[in-house]
Amino acid sequence: MIIVSIGTTLPEKVTCVMAVRKGQTDLAMGNDNGSCLFNAGAVFGVVGLESPMGVDGALTRPLAYIGILAITLEPISRTFGKTVSRLEGGLLLDSYARFLVLSSILATKG
């Protein structure tokens, strides 16, 4: 899932960087949130179609994380001149690293 998400979101990240360089931060936030939520929904939807049995537990944690992250990013992007501070960026990266570690641990137990 991580490889698929990198491959599908990398072009979106390039678009976001170009939008930020041109000063269009709203476009970058909308593009980023929209593409990530769509990609997550599409990937999880395909997984659900392929293996409808036992998917609920596997999808609950990533979907909850994505939802919480999207809700968290909106206020962060609207404060301090519409920039993400180093501290906020570090906390977001830390939360993602913790999510990956937790997911890996739970995947190896199952």
Q: Where are the domains of the chain?
A: 2-109
What does the pLDDT look like over 31-75, one tens digit per residue?
A: 767 776 776 777 767 776 776 655 556 667 777 887 888 788 777
72-85 residue pLDDT tens: 877 777 777 767 77
DSSP letter, residue 82: T
Contacts of 50 (CB under 8 A, 6+ apart): none
Using a 10 angstrom Cβ sphere, with 0-12 exposed, 13-18 middle and 19 or more buried, the burial of residue 103 is middle
- Helix-then-strand count for the chain, H and E: 4, 0
**pLDDT score for 102:** 83
